[in-house]
Amino acid sequence: MEANGANGHSSHGRSFQTVMEDLSKRILNVRRPADFVAVLIYGVPIYSTIRIGIEAGIFDQLAKAGSSLTAELIAEGIGKAVGDPNTKDIERRDFVVRNLRVLAALGLVDETAPFTYHINELTLALADPGLNAGISQVYHGVMGPRSTMAQMITYAKERGWKAPDTALDGPYQRAHEIKGMSTFEHWVKCDPEQMSRLNASMQGMQANFTHWMEWFPKKALFGSGERKSETFLVDVGGGYGHDISALAAKYPDEPIRMVLQDLAGVLEEGEERRKQAGQVLDSRVQRQTHDFFSEQPVKGAEVYYMHKILHDWPDNDCITILERTRDALAPGSRILVNDCILLNQGCPLRRALANHLMKICIG
């Protein structure tokens, strides 16, 4: 095979055997059942990334290039193909990167540098018109035209292969015919069982992974110990209260006031689940109904904590959430964000899939 520069890839990419050996090693690194199940949870829409790779021409571009391509070049090629004069659109590049993170984690393309991709034998197979036609035919036959996953393809194609820029109009909204309503609002008003599943899932996964309370330094959390505010911590959008309960259990003797905030239905269900389990919310914790898009009612708390809140919303909505919190800050107040960080190269499959799921269901 002909060598292709310093990246160590031939013009035909890594062999199928090499890719499989690499994936086998990654699978062996999954040490707990919860890790494996988490991949299954986020892996439900996995085929939509492959379908996008086919329909947007990503596999075809890489196969024809025969050498590494950056995300910018791939996005530019897509822009030209859809007749978009703004071929260097940052939104399209972001869409390409989010999709290729998953494809790279699956071994379907190779990453040779941050945001830089190269073919391997699996890429070439997926660029084959006969093979990818089979994937497309079965995908659309199984998903059906009104599924969220099918709408992901239709919606993204209409937008010139860009992710949603609003939480009120995306693949989920198109599939359920609820344009103008966010996914979470739809769950609360029309499908509360989904909201229950979300909160139960967050609580269940947290129970199976190391809690941040176990490694976050006490001094970094409490500072000098001198309380500057009546309220120490506000758990914004805290769900059933698994985080704030863990904080209370970790520091049972700290004389601190804490506030658990979420929508009324979520707080009520969390309380009911505690009753069923014979548990009681720590007396230092006050429950408070709050929508984080509205004014923050607790002013001047020492800590405003957000756990996996911001990754659920498009950038403009994240700015609004943070602005509402910022307006409540006092000198010395802090915002603590506990969320996922996506690597520019070698992103773990579970993280890449979670990000893709947000693109499909949230925005």
Q: Is 126 helix (H, G, I), strand (E, B) or coil?
A: helix
- Token pair recorded at residue 332: 């010395």
> Catalytic: which of 9, 290, 311, 356?
311
Q: How far is CA 216 from CA 17, 212, 219, 242, in A?
A: 42, 6, 9, 16
Which single residue is written with the structure tokens 């992103």?
A: 347
- Token pair recorded at residue 139: 């995908």
Can you list the positions of beta strands (E) in the chain? 69-70, 110-113, 116-118, 233-235, 258-262, 285-289, 303-307, 334-338
- Token pair recorded at residue 333: 């107040």
Note whether 42 and 357 are within 8 A (CB): yes
The count of other CB atoms within 10 Å of the CB of residue 146 is 11
State yes or no: is 311 an active-site residue.
Answer: yes
Note whether 76 and 29 are within 8 A (CB): no
- Token pair recorded at residue 165: 């820029």
Round to whole Å and give the CA distance between 146 and 337: 35
Q: How far is CA 30 from CA 23, 27, 243, 356, in A?
A: 11, 5, 25, 20
Closest CA to 122 of 134, 138, 112, 110: 110
- Token pair recorded at residue 324: 């509402």
Round to whole Å and give the CA distance between 170 and 314: 11
286 forms beta bridges with 259
The CA radius of gyration of the chain, in Å to the nearest whole number, is 23
Pairing of strands 285-289, 258-262: parallel
Catalytic residue annotation: 311
